[in-house]
Chains A and B, each alone.
Chain A
Amino acid sequence: MELAELLAIGERERSSRRPVQINCCIAAGCLSAGSEAVQRSLNDSVKAAGLQERAQVCGVGCLRLCSRGPLVRIEPEGDLYERVTPEQAPGIVAALTGGHADAQRGDPDSPFFRRQVSVVLENCGRIEPERIESYIAAGGYQALFRALHEMTPTQVIDAVSRSGLRGRGGAGYPTGVKWSMVAKAPGPRKFVVCNADEGDPGAFMNRSELESDPHRVLEGMAIAGYAVGAEQGYVYIRGEYPQAIHRLQVALRQANRLGLLGGHVFDSPFAFRIDLRIGAGAFVCGEETALMASIEGRRGTPRPRPPYPAEAGLWGCPTLINNVETFANIPGIIRRGPEWFAAFGTEKSKGTKVFSLTGKVRHAGLVEVPMGTTLRTIVEEIGGGSADGTPIKAVQTGGPSGGCIPAWLFDTPVDYESLTQLGSIMGSGGLIVMDEQTSMVDVARFYMEFCMDESCGKCVPCRAGTVQLHRLLTKIIQRRAQADDLRRLEELCDLVRHASLCGLGQTAPNPVLSTLRYFRHEYEALLARPEV
């Protein structure tokens, strides 16, 4: 495939488009609310109204306001319909020609949409994820072409470094540094792995990204393969994401057929194959060494690092492992330049971050904002504040590895360093809003139970420590604990944090420690009064 052919595919796609697009969200959230039937009914209605020449129904990725699904958005007008039923479809189509739509209208100019900035999600909800032409028409695969034909691998890595991009899987490791380590590591074979295991409770960023724009992740991986010298990539994705898996499979088939992946990518000497590996739902398999053991067909347990995957990863070969969103950022950086990317965000945290905003908040859904946006903006403006008027108490970030940040600290900018300083972490992007009715000790126990159930059992502090921490928290909640137990809780948190083998155990105490830090009175109020 030549560049001209690629551009021609995009051009054909654009010129065959009808003047009006009826975009119906077919990402998991809306699908589970019944959007498939809505899409079918919209199609029928367009036909029945004889509007096939004027309008077309497109199944698109996440339209973001997941709590109001199924969502339908009319382009280019931008009209938004919420909680659409199949029966309302004829009305929505009639409204295109001046009729009346009886469906609930959403406000596309509300702060939920206005305050967002689309970088990773630029195509999300705009293109049809199951059609490669739709991605190409939006500029897709041009970055890969540029990298292969106009840049050396070193230049690609240099661009990624200059963009300031940091890993979106949780720890925020500088992506350019990681790429250059893998590129420099000696070895005849290297691998690229995309971590799509997304196991944090309440997190659905990676799922939405893959369901809405799968080719972007594949393109990012191929660019990475070229940069580090790998010919094989794997997407490790959890089995609980059948829709995302399906769309990846479709996308892989399409990209291989067009020669954008496989033997000679863009007719260059560069070969890059991508295969899927399906996880069986263990949270620990998101940890990089456990993930690679699982790909190799072994039991998914972490191993001590060093050696890091960049030196010795899959089958002992140098391996680059990045998160879905990290890869999804790459095509934009290559196409528009690292300076464009670095203009978003703060000094140390560049670009944007995608969050899944859930919990006791009015507008729940998928949110992308520049790094450095305050929690207040996210929770109160974008999220619209409390769902039922009960004052908001805290927001949980980073899932079971993160912590709770109290409402009085909502002016904190969201970046890697600030959140760590508050005793939480950025994590992969889960944001759960909690109101005054939530007991923070209950929250701490919920996450401890999660870690206890998900511990792989390899190391003693995590395997046995999380069980004892969970017991202590239960004892406190049942008002059977005394001051001594609280002290033991803290001592044990310290052990589990510093002595565990992998990140799961090392961060498992965070929800307890952060709630102790900000809501200690809730723990103390539950202590049994000592006998007098």
Chain B
Amino acid sequence: MPVKTLTINGQLVSAREGETILEAARDAGIRIPTLCYLPGLSAHGGCRLCLVEISGSSRLQPACVTKVVEGMEVQTHTERLNAYRRMIVELLFAEGNHVCGVCVANGNCELQDLAAEVGMDHDRFEYLHPNRGLDASHDRFGIDHNRCVLCTRCVRVCDEVEGAHTWDVAGRGANSRVITDLNQPWGESATCTSCGKCFLACPTGAIFRQGSTVAETVRDRSKLEFLVRAREERQWHV
């Protein structure tokens, strides 16, 4: 398999052809913040946290979708990128109701971790305090739309791994929502198999297990990784 060499933050890195900058960086032990990215799912390119600078290109590029090119020089943590990332996380916190102290995912939330990672000590933007509603009609899971960051991981995992396509996005702009089936209550969904993959994929406390209370959410992501790897490596034959 042809190998490409590139530099990330001045460090020489080799990558397989067709790999993304994000994959190459992770293999080399360089962490780039991400939110909408989840290994095994198609890339979305929506959260913009993984933007990196590439020499010779005036545009910032998302590391999760940009393929490596021989000789590429990538910077992942310039002052400008750090400032942008912090602002993006602030925008996310201001957009929803992320009150960690009363959230099921407290201590086990990627948004919370990102806030710490980008050094967000306060939010410079006005909180919008949306009232987007909550759906607890499903007997095993629920969704609090006020905690949703619209990463669409639930949509993609349900479509691409489970094959049910229960979830989709409706509305646009700030009114976007993830919906089940044709915007029916989740509990009435004819397609949902109750497999719980959306719960495993969700980075925040938006999708939760019924009956869990503050800081009780535990997600076993290794289950998803197991499924994805098994499928990619064709470990099961039907």
Q: Tell me the A residues contacting B by CB distance below 8 Å.
A: 282, 284, 299, 303-304, 452-461, 463-468, 471, 488, 491-492, 495, 498-501
Contacts and interface: CB of A to CB of B under 8 A. Distances in A.
Interface in B64-95: 65-66, 84, 87-88, 91-92, 94-95
A471 B172 contact: no
Contacts of A467: 95, 128, 173-174
Nearest to A498: B60
Interface stretch (B42-50, B132-140, B195-203): B42-50
B226 interface: no
Nearest to A462: B173
A464 B174 CA distance: 7
B48 A459 contact: yes
Given A458-B46, A459-B45, A468-B126, A499 B88 contact: yes
Contacts, number: 86
B176 interface: yes
Interface in B159-192: 168-169, 171-176
A500 B60 CA distance: 10
Contact of A499 (B60, B124, B168): B60
Contacts of B59: 498
Binding site of A, secondary structure by majority: helix, strand, loop or mixed? Answer: helix
Contact of A461 (B48, B150, B172, B175): B48
12 contacts: A284-B172, A453-B173, A454-B172, A457-B174, A457-B176, A458-B46, A467-B174, A468-B125, A468-B126, A498-B59, A499-B84, A501-B45
Chain B interface extent, by class: 20 to 34
Contacts of B173: 452-457, 463, 466-467
A471 B173 CA distance: 15
A471 B84 CA distance: 19
B93 to A, nearest CB: 10
A459 B84 CA distance: 14
Nearest to A465: B91
Nearest to A464: B91
B62 interface: yes
Contacts of A499: 48, 51, 60, 84, 88
B94 A468 contact: yes
A492 B87 contact: yes
Contacts of A501: 45-46, 48, 62
Interface centre among A455, A457, A467 (most CB of B within 10 A): A457
Interface string B114-142: 00000000001110100000000000000
